[in-house]
Structure 1
Amino acid sequence: MSTPLIELDAIRKAYGGGDAPEVEVLHGVSLTIHAGEFVAIVGSSGSGKSTLMHLLGCLDRPTSGQYRFCGVDVAGLDADELAWLRREAFGFVFQGYHLIATESARENVEVPAIYAGMPAAEREARATALLSRLGLSARHDYRPNQLSGGQQQRVSIARALMNGGRIILADEPTGALDSQSGIEVMALLDELAAAGHTLILITHDRAVAARARRVIEVRDGRVVADSGPDASRADGSDSGWLEQMADGSRTRAATLAGDMREACRAAWRVMWINRFRTALTLLGIVIGVASVIVMLAVGQGSKQRVLEQLSAFGANNIYLGPNGDSARQNGGRVTLEDAAAIRTVPNVALVMPYLEGQVVIRYGNLDYRAEGGGVSSEFPQALNWKTARGMFFSAEDERTMAKVVVIGERVRDALFKDDDPLGRRVLLDKVPFQVIGVLASKGAQSGDSDEDNRVVLPFSTASSRLYGNPYPSWLTIGLADGAKLQETEAAIDALMLERHRQRDFRMFNAASRIAAQAATSDTLSLLLALIAAVSLLVGGIGVMNIMLMTVRERTREIGIRMATGARQRDILRQFLTEAVLVSLVGGLAGVLIGLLVGGVLVLFGLPLIFSVTAMVGAFACALLTGLVFGYMPARQAARLDPVVALAGE
């Protein structure tokens, strides 16, 4: 017996300190246990035997003293190395069974192998074989609440054997069982001891302790009796493994892909079992994502419609009208002579005067009020406004002051309904005109037909026979090259100042209006997105609250996973995966609902433009929300002390 498997030297364990009084549970315990021994540690309640088991199984650390495992000082191992030791060396059989409630019997047995990196098919086959060996071949898919106490304890034993069960620590394995189940469990432990496993049995029952080959009695935190090492054990039966342990060798570890797959499976199982609570948690994420998508689509749609309306009248036009800083000299007027002078400015392609005013149109016994406009024959080119039917008047009509008129869609609908208006005679403020064309609809782009509620006629005819005013209300100036808009506008401004000697005119261009409107729409879209993002933030807080509650509810499960070899990063990954999976499902549902709501709004005529970037961004934000708000609860779970977690409810 060269190197003991377990060697304790003057181990002390105290709890409390600081604000709470310190209580010492173990008082200088020293003992050695060799591979292959069947040891019973017996003592009454409160004697410290369970604390001793936790120290032996590396679930807890001593306050002082030295614990050597295969000659290696356990105090020098970090949290992950202790987890590896628990996974590879120990198998725990607890009095309260400590099975994960959401997992089946087979899945509970597989847990240690998951953290050991055993392939799924291999661990499933091994778990099935162990359960069958323990008489549970028909109970593989049963959950713990569907099994009797004895059956649950057998599942616990199978789990302890999953990674080999070199050392089995059994804490009151028959304490919660009826007598028959207790007899069966002890028979199983006897078989394991005979097969060469190292068994350390913690019990207060001396009859149970008598089944062991070595009995150590603990009283008031001290070893008061020890029957001595079992001389019949097979010395060196586990020497190969002892050498691996002494050399610090490591067995295979779980792959990242395997870890993530298992974490997703377990997370989905928990979400499904608690689906009502999960749905409530998802609600905030769903509303947030859907709101972002719909709000941005509405903003982009409205922006696009406004820009289309503005550009429909000439994106490269300059508009010039009276009423600048002073309107006293020249009456603040823009004249046809100004228009003729502006035509000589480089890059000016056309100049169209527009004389506007209200008119009453009569056809038959129907009167209708509309916007009237005296324009030149360049109207279709200047405002990009063609005729849908008929023709537009010519320069000759303008020169001869012809009494012809082109009407808008709303005027046609109001006066002629289904009749053909072309060639018909109408009265404009009691002056007869002939309808020669119908303008293409402009107002239909926004659902507002005001732009179509107009008639246009030759400028000369309007100024002399209708309005009695020779001065244009404004000029539309079309450019040959839109890229030179700014310099052309400056040249026109200089020309008008030279002609008028003062700034009694005002000028603006469609491009600046479009840019201003685009900026306004972008600001509105940003505001809408921020409002929607608040919903996403609220959803993230909901995820964090639910995950904190989940950690509290599943504290014992965390302890079980740690006892079976889970590292801190395994626990962190498990709970972070759950948070991200909630956000993932919420994000997908939010995208679908956002598209559905958007489709309904489109049916009601609201302009929407869905952006793939917005959808991807909202979905990514949902995932990021789960990651950020799920990290703190996951970190809290990962940093739990195994012993404290196992004692949790």
Structure 2
Amino acid sequence: MSALIELRDVERVYHNGEVTTQVLHGVSLEIQRGEFVAIIGQSGSGKTTLMNILGCLDRPTRGSYRFAGQEVGALDSNGLAALRRQGFGFVFQSYHLISSANALENVEIPAIYAGLPAAERHARAEELLTRLGLGERLGNRPSQLSGGQQQRVSIARALMNDAEVILADEPTGALDSRSGQEVLALLKELSAAGKTVIIITHDREVAAHADRLIEIRDGLIIADSGAGPAAPLAVTEAPRPVSERGIALADTGEAIRMALRALRANLFRTVLTLLGIVIGVASVVAMLAVGNGARQEVVERISSMGTNLLSVRPGAPNMRRSAEGVTATLTAEDARAVAELDNVTAALGESQGSATLRFGNVDYSTTITATNAGMPLVRDWGLASGAFFTEEDERDYATVTVIGQTVAKNLFPDTDPVGRYLLVQNVPFQVIGVMTAKGATPWGQDQDDVALVPSTTGSLRLFGQRHIQGITAYITDIGRIDATEENIRQLLIARHNGVEDFQIRNTASLLDAVTQTQDTLTVLLGSIAAISLLVGGIGVMNIMLVNVTERTREIGIRMATGARTGNILQQFITEALVVSAIGGVLGVLVGLGSAWTIGQLGTAVQFTLAPVVLAFGCAFAIGLIFGLMPARKAAHLDPVVALASD
């Protein structure tokens, strides 16, 4: 029968810069299944290096190592992890328990990486600990256990995956004599049950408990008592190591639970990391809500003026005004001609001026607008009470007026204005209607501070001129607004003897321009907020790098118990993602709360789903990106170096 472990001319050489140290010098060794072997040697003899090679924690520089007939040197890192997971259980001198996990969780670690379902591994870990006399200590952390109890937990962990080989490195070195004897008795029982037990020690009294004694000195085996009586084998065939990619964690939930436990162990540091993410996400959510609110407010105000309007103003660019400050190029006839064009529902010829209104003993200065009967349609401005003047009123030069809400409140605070007479530049006008509240323009002008009169009446009785200050055309089909604009241009050029002494403004284009400007400002606000989110991401990376440095030994423990590269990578990336996800959720809540508070103070705020998804998605992506480098660093640590870390 072939040996379980076969070493042929194994050498191990370490290189530290230009310094080369050879620890093992051509070691050859065979160990049969079921043997209880003690490898003894003083410090520096090479026994620990030999153990690391036997347990697949390290590779020989030269020579051959075969386990159960398979060449170990041909395995990649994940193949070695699979072999450690299936074939070996480690009992370390300093126990190497994870301080943030309790006894049950420490014992379960190998089974997690073996993919054993949670219920099964809980039951097996509890059974092993109970068998070893720790049934009442399942929830205790290592700091709450004595040295002997911690070593028993370490033994239970070594047995978790029913490994065929138990490797014990100075198993009694940190224990008192009583605890040491108990541990040795346990190892003896394991050997009797058919396990292959290998003890690494410098103590001959400890080595005497083994059936076979191998002595090593200066990297060479100098004595071997030979194979002792083998115990009855508990298995008929050793676990077959494989070179597959390894077994992933049982599920994502398990990875998240492990991440939460690790983060809880350093709660204050985790809170500081969360703070950076929270501030970043909250800033993005709040600033974009404010920016979108400001944009929506401007859009609504411009839209209230009408987006299907074409505004014609007199005078070409750089054209000089008259001495009275009026550019006299448009007439009421021009407005009527524009109204006859296709796709023009109505066209207003308007003039404006300031005047003092009087009712009783109250004087009030306001804006007088001379306009047409179609103004409510063109301006999308309804009546609160009364009626609007008609085309007949325009033809008759009627002295009637419709006033805005601001004028009504100042001249008629306690009286219904409709039917009342007021004086406009000492000309009596009858109030026939009151407009609904329009509010202020985007540039702050009060649209309700106005008195509207028929265009003919304004020209004859108030302004004393036939020219108008502008034409506003209401477009039927906004999809053809550009073509209609060109038609108006050509009509007016023809009417003005080939001279383009006017300017046309498209309110839809104005809305687009303002919207683009507001979008730019919103992006700017979001970019400023994103900087704080980026800083939070850098904080995640720094904390994760510190975690890797502080938990190097834990990483080594996980690798020794069968964790492959992907498992370590997954764990640390999951921790970064969990921090970012928690920070993202809290940041969204804080951002929404801040934006709501700002809205209560009078600032326009608009809540939409996109900024929330964007901010949370960015936080999650930052956790992934900034957590990747520390995770890769952890995943590529050397198991031997990691276990030796302080």
Same fold (TM over 0.5): yes
Q: Does 1:311 align with 2:303?
A: yes
- Partner SS state of residue 216, structure 2: strand
- Distance in 2 separating the partners of 1:222 and 1:361: 116
- Distance in 1 separating the partners of 2:261 and 2:440: 54
Moved more, 221-230 or 94-103: 221-230
Q: CA deviation at 1:622?
A: 1.6
Q: Which residue of 2 aligns with 1:215?
A: 213
Q: CA deviation at 1:449?
A: 6.4
Correspondences of 1:87-106 after superposition (within 5 Å): 87-106=85-104
- Partner SS state of residue 451, structure 1: coil
Moved more, 586-595 or 73-82: 586-595
Q: Does 1:435 align with 2:394?
A: no
Q: Which residue of 1 aligns with 2:391?
A: 395
**Contact 2:79 2:244 survives alignment (8 Å):** no
Q: Does 1:491 align with 2:487?
A: yes
Correspondences of 1:293-372 after superposition (within 5 Å): 293-325=285-317, 327=319, 332-372=328-368
**Contact 1:442 1:451 survives alignment (8 Å):** yes
- Distance in 2 separating the partners of 1:617 and 1:124: 40
Q: Which residue of 1 aligns with 2:145?
A: 147
**Contact 1:374 1:460 survives alignment (8 Å):** yes
Q: Does 1:79 align with 2:71?
A: no
Q: CA deviation at 1:489?
A: 0.9
Q: CA deviation at 1:326?
A: 6.1
- Distance in 2 separating the partners of 1:355 and 1:572: 75
Q: Which residue of 2 aligns with 1:23?
A: 21
Correspondences of 1:8-157 after superposition (within 5 Å): 8-17=7-16, 19-157=17-155
Q: CA deviation at 1:556?
A: 0.5
Q: Which residue of 2 aligns with 1:380?
A: 376
- Distance in 1 separating the partners of 2:206 and 2:360: 115
Amino acid at match of 1:109: V
**Contact 1:83 1:566 survives alignment (8 Å):** yes
Q: Which residue of 1 aligns with 2:566?
A: 569
- Distance in 2 separating the partners of 1:251 and 1:513: 65
Q: CA deviation at 1:418?
A: 4.1
Label 1:413 to 1:241 Cα distance change in 2 as closer, same or farther (>3 A).
Answer: farther
Amino acid at match of 1:264: I
- Distance in 1 separating the partners of 2:118 and 2:606: 46
- Of 159, 180, 188 in structure 2, the residue corresponding to residue 190 of structure 1 is 188
Q: CA deviation at 1:437?
A: 1.8
- Distance in 2 separating the partners of 1:69 and 1:37: 15
Q: Cα deviations across residues 586-607 of structure 1 (Å, max 9, x unaligned)?
A: 1111222222122222222322
Q: CA deviation at 1:348?
A: 2.0
Q: CA deviation at 1:238?
A: 5.7
Amino acid at match of 1:562: M
- Distance in 2 separating the partners of 1:23 and 1:415: 104
Correspondences of 1:119-268 after superposition (within 5 Å): 119-230=117-228, 232-234=229-231, 237=233, 240-242=236-238, 245=240, 254=247, 258-268=250-260
Q: CA deviation at 1:452?
A: 1.5
Label 1:505 to 1:107 Cα distance change in 2 as closer, same or farther (>3 A).
Answer: same
- Partner SS state of residue 452, structure 1: coil
- Distance in 2 separating the partners of 1:435 and 1:627: 69
**Contact 1:326 1:502 survives alignment (8 Å):** no
**Contact 1:295 1:528 survives alignment (8 Å):** yes
Q: Which residue of 2 aligns with 1:470?
A: 466
Amino acid at match of 2:607: F
Q: Does 1:281 align with 2:273?
A: yes
Q: Which residue of 2 aligns with 1:458?
A: 454
Q: Cα deviations across residues 514-542 of structure 1 (Å, max 9, x unaligned)?
A: 12122222222222222222222222111
Q: Which residue of 2 aligns with 1:408?
A: 404
- Distance in 2 separating the partners of 1:445 and 1:112: 71
- Distance in 2 separating the partners of 1:441 and 1:265: 59
Q: CA deviation at 1:447?
A: 11
- Distance in 1 separating the partners of 2:435 and 2:268: 59
Amino acid at match of 2:551: R
**Contact 1:42 1:206 survives alignment (8 Å):** yes
Q: Cα deviations across residues 492-533 of structure 1 (Å, max 9, x unaligned)?
A: 111211222322111112111112122222222222222222
The count of residues paired between Structure 1 and Structure 2 equals: 641
Q: CA deviation at 1:611?
A: 2.0
Moved more, 175-184 or 543-552: 175-184
Q: Which residue of 1 aligns with 2:635?
A: 638
Q: Which residue of 2 aligns with 1:591?
A: 588
- Distance in 2 separating the partners of 1:513 and 1:444: 17
- Of 265, 272, 296 in structure 1, the residue corresponding to residue 264 of structure 2 is 272
Flag structure 2 segments of 5+ consecutive residues without an equivalent: none
**Contact 1:325 1:503 survives alignment (8 Å):** no
Amino acid at match of 1:197: K
Q: Which residue of 1 aligns with 2:615?
A: 618
**Contact 1:324 1:332 survives alignment (8 Å):** no
- Partner SS state of residue 632, structure 2: helix
- Partner SS state of residue 342, structure 1: helix
Flag structure 1 segments of 5+ consecutive residues without an equivalent: none
Label 1:6 to 1:407 Cα distance change in 2 as closer, same or farther (>3 A).
Answer: same
- Distance in 2 separating the partners of 1:215 and 1:227: 5
**Contact 2:169 2:199 survives alignment (8 Å):** yes
**Contact 2:3 2:32 survives alignment (8 Å):** yes
Q: CA deviation at 1:325?
A: 3.4
Q: CA deviation at 1:448?
A: 5.2
